[in-house]
């Protein structure tokens, strides 16, 4: 490990990372498809510069996956690194202090879309890999990289790849660096991720928009109908009113709840500095951390319909739609929640409206066993740099592919170098540069410590049989998804 790497190469690394961040690789917007490909090509060029003998672009029906392999190191363990190069849309643009795709440094922080989620963290691991190499360019263990371009938009290219070639997911450990510290100076490993069900609810009440003066009071309003449906799906205390939704929820264990109570959590600071609201909402009978980590949510992300331009236009809208999502917790299943949501919306639909529920994407929640010795190695690396071991916490967010990455039986390490106030998915997203520099040293040291363990798991016939069983199981899940889509189509809905 090159201990002088970070101070010596800081200027170069800032140039490289800024170049990467300047590519507007917004996977959700078709207009940025070429930018997503540019970001993938940028990564391929970087992997080649790092001396990776295998660098491939894996195509599919969506944005491509970048696959790279470091030089083979016989007798050493294998590590699969996952990340994503796509980013969220930058809207609302007027709230950015500087352009989202013109990286800017202010007070030791780098501001741009993707700094913390996830380009900056992917770049951190690339530089840790570079710093960990010996004089001949060889890393301390066998490292492979799987970097996708659709994490933010629920794409299927990486899932299709692992389904078709399950051996790519086989390793002694999987590292996902897409998370944050629990607090400044307090690194974290994550024991659970929430799943997600992202949907769009569309309402039609008329064949065309009508004059509100001529027909107001008699004609059904699509926006009003939609808002009434939405308001019935969650009460003012935050409890979701979808029948049987909570029935499958597995509550956190007593030991987890006890550990969470011991975390340094300042409710007022959380409200003022992270939430930036006047008050916290939700189910008051549960703690804030329970609401964030252990309970399902229902959120409205945007509503369209009627006239929203400047000035006035007095119409009764014929159509309206809302983008919504449910975050799922351990015990819940995506496909079951889809059925529950559709049934609940159908029950709330008045006789004068046609309502459609379109599912854009989703995945099951994930639980991670952190008892594997590899977590001790990561803790040692954290402790050497920060003085603290990683605290075990849950995450409120979702990373769709994680459940598939763990199918080989390898421990999945969910961690990261971000901070809670990085503004993920928000204007003025940032990454503290000291977190980046420390992260490079931490993960380079982790690679070194893991490499010292020697070969852990060789591929044998039993492994190949397990892979075949996993492949069959995945195919069955795919068939189930198709059945769900067909059932939805038959009910006047479509899977997106």
Q: What is the pLDDT of residues 52-100, one digit of tens each?
A: 999 999 999 999 999 999 999 999 999 999 999 999 999 999 999 999 9
For residues 102 and 164, is the Cβ–Cβ distance under 8 A?
A: no
**Average pLDDT over every residue of 158-168:** 94
**Average pLDDT over every residue of 394-403:** 90
Q: At CB < 8 A and 24+ separation, what contacts does 52-59 make? A: 52/145, 58/157, 58/161, 59/157
Q: Identify the structural domains of the chain with CATH numbers, from first to last.
A: 5-193+366-459 (3.40.630.10), 195-251+294-364 (3.30.70.360)
Pairing status of strand 173-177 against strand 78-84 = parallel
Backbone phi and psi for residue 95, each to the nearest 5 degrees, phi listed first: -90, -5
Q: What is the pLDDT of residues 316-333, one digit of tens each?
A: 999 999 999 999 999 999
**pLDDT value at residue 161:** 96
pLDDT band at 457 (very low <50, low <70, confident <90, very high): low
389-411: burial string, b at 16+ Cβ within 10 Å, e else: bbbbbbbbbbbbbbbbbbbbebb
For residues 398 and 326, is the Cβ–Cβ distance under 8 A?
A: no
pLDDT at 225 over 90: yes
**Average pLDDT over every residue of 277-302:** 96
DSSP track, 415-481 = E-SB-TTS-TTSTT-EEEHHHHHHHHHHHHHHHHHHHTT-------HHHHHHHHHHHHHHHHHHHHH
From edge to edge, which strands make up the β-sheet containing 354-363?
Answer: 297-305, 319-328, 195-204, 354-363
Mean pLDDT of the chain: 92
Write the secondary structure of 211-276 as one string of H (helix), E (strand) and C (coil): EHHHHCCCCCCHHHHHHHHHHHHECCCCCECCCCHHHHCCCCCHHHHHHHHCCCCCHHHHHHHHHC
Q: What is the pLDDT of residues 100-118, one digit of tens each?
A: 999 999 999 999 999 999 9
**Average pLDDT over every residue of 220-247:** 97
For residues 173 and 413, is the Cβ–Cβ distance under 8 A?
A: yes
Q: At CB < 8 A and 24+ separation, what contacts does 475-479 make? A: 475/163, 478/163
**Average pLDDT over every residue of 420-432:** 96
**Average pLDDT over every residue of 22-35:** 97
Counting every residue written for the chain, the total comes to 496
**pLDDT value at residue 400:** 84
Question: Considering only CA atoms, which of 444, 466, 374, 485 is closest in space to residue 6?
Answer: 444
Say how far apart CA 145 and CA 405 lie, in whole Å. 12
For residues 94 and 102, is the Cβ–Cβ distance under 8 A?
A: no
pLDDT at 464 over 70: no
More confident residue, 496 or 231: 231
What is the DSSP code (8-state) at residue 183?
B
For residues 65 and 131, is the Cβ–Cβ distance under 8 A?
A: no
Kindly list the distances between the CA atom of residue 89 and the CA atoms of 114, 164, 305, 319, 399, in Å, as whole numbers in the listed order.
10, 30, 21, 25, 17
Terminal alpha carbon distance of the chain? 46
318-355: burial string, b at 16+ Cβ within 10 Å, e else: bbbbbbbbbbbbbebebbbbbebbbebbeebbeeebeb
pLDDT at 487 over 50: no
Backbone phi and psi for residue 102, each to the nearest 5 degrees, phi listed first: -125, 85
**Average pLDDT over every residue of 370-374:** 95
118-148: burial string, b at 16+ Cβ within 10 Å, e else: bbbbbbbbbbbbbbbbeeeeebbbbbbbbbb
Pairing status of strand 109-111 against strand 104-106 = antiparallel
**Which range has the worst mean pLDDT, 108-122, 150-164, 349-363?**
150-164
Is 0.85 surpassed by the pTM of this model?
A: no
List the structure tokens of 372: 């594997």
**Average pLDDT over every residue of 478-483:** 46
pLDDT at 473 over 80: no
Question: Considering only CA atoms, which of 324, 391, 337, 389 is closest in space to residue 365?
Answer: 337
**Which range has the worst mean pLDDT, 126-135, 150-159, 211-220?**
150-159
For residues 76 and 171, is the Cβ–Cβ distance under 8 A?
A: no
Say how far apart CA 393 and CA 238 lie, in whole Å. 23
Cis peptide before 489 (omega within 30 of 0): no
pLDDT at 425 over 50: yes
Kindly list the distances between the CA atom of residue 216 and the CA atoms of 212, 315, 352, 435, in Å, as whole numbers in the listed order.
5, 9, 15, 57
**Average pLDDT over every residue of 438-467:** 76
351 in helix, strand or coil?
coil
Instruction: Compute CA 136 distance to the chain's CA centroid, rounded to the nearest angstrom.
Output: 36
**pLDDT value at residue 495:** 28
328 in helix, strand or coil?
strand
Question: Considering only CA atoms, which of 140, 183, 148, 149 is closest in space to residue 443?
Answer: 140
Packed helices 374-386 and 433-451: angle between N→C axes, nearest 10 degrees? 140
**Average pLDDT over every residue of 453-459:** 66
Say how far apart CA 153 and CA 338 lie, in whole Å. 18
Say how far apart CA 209 and CA 457 lie, in whole Å. 65
Question: Considering only CA atoms, which of 256, 190, 263 is closest in space to residue 415?
Answer: 190
């Amino acid at each position: 490990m090159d201990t002088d790497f970070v101070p010596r190469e800081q200027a170069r690394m800032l140039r490289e990372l800024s170049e990467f961040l300047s590519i507007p690789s917004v996977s959700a917007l078709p207009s940025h498809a070429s930018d997503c490909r540019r970001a993938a090509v940028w990564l391929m060029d970087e992997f080649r510069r790092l001396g990776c003998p295998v660098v491939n672009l894996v195509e599919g029906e969506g944005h491509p996956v970048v696959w790279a392999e470091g030089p083979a190191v016989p007798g050493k363990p294998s590590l699969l690194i996952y990340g994503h190069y796509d980013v969220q849309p930058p809207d609302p643009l007027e709230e950015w202090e500087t352009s989202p795709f013109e990286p800017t440094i202010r007070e030791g922080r780098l501001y741009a879309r993707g700094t913390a989620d996830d380009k900056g963290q992917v770049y951190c691991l690339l530089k840790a890999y570079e710093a960990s190499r010996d004089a001949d360019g060889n890393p301390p263990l066998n490292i492979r990289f799987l970097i996708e371009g659709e994490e933010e938009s629920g794409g299927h290219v990486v899932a299709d790849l692992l389904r078709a070639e399950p051996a790519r997911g086989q390793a002694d450990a999987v590292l996902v660096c897409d998370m944050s510290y629990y607090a400044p100076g307090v690194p974290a490993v994550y024991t659970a991720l929430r799943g997600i069900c992202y949907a769009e609810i569309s309402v039609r009440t008329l064949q065309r928009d009508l004059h509100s003066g001529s027909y107001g009071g008699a004609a059904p309003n699509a926006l009003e109908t939609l808002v009434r449906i939405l308001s019935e799906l969650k009460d003012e205390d935050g409890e979701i009113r979808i029948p049987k939704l909570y029935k499958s929820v597995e509550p956190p264990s007593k030991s987890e709840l006890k550990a969470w109570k011991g975390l340094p959590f300042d409710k007022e600071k959380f409200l003022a500095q992270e939430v930036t609201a006047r008050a916290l909402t939700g189910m008051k009978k549960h703690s804030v951390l329970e609401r964030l980590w252990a309970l399902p949510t229902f959120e409205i992300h945007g509503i369209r319909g009627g006239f929203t331009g400047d000035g006035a236009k007095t119409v009764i809208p014929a159509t309206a739609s809302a983008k919504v999502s449910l975050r799922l917790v351990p015990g819940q299943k995506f496909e079951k929640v889809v059925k529950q949501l559709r049934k609940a919306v159908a029950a709330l639909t008045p006789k004068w409206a046609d309502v459609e529920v379109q599912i854009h994407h989703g995945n099951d929640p994930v639980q991670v066993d952190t008892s594997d010795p590899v977590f001790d190695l990561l803790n040692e690396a954290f402790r050497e740099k920060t003085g603290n071991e990683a605290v075990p916490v849950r995450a409120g967010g979702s990373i769709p592919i994680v459940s598939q990455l763990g199918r080989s039986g390898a421990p999945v390490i969910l961690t990261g170098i971000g901070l809670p106030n990085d503004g993920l998915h928000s204007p003025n997203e940032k990454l503290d540069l000291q977190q980046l520099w420390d992260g490079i040293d931490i993960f380079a040291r982790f690679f070194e410590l893991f490499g010292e363990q020697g070969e852990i798991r060789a591929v044998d016939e039993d492994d190949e049989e397990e892979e075949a069983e996993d492949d069959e199981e995945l195919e069955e899940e795919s068939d189930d998804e198709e059945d769900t889509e067909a059932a939805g189509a038959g009910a006047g809905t479509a899977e997106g």
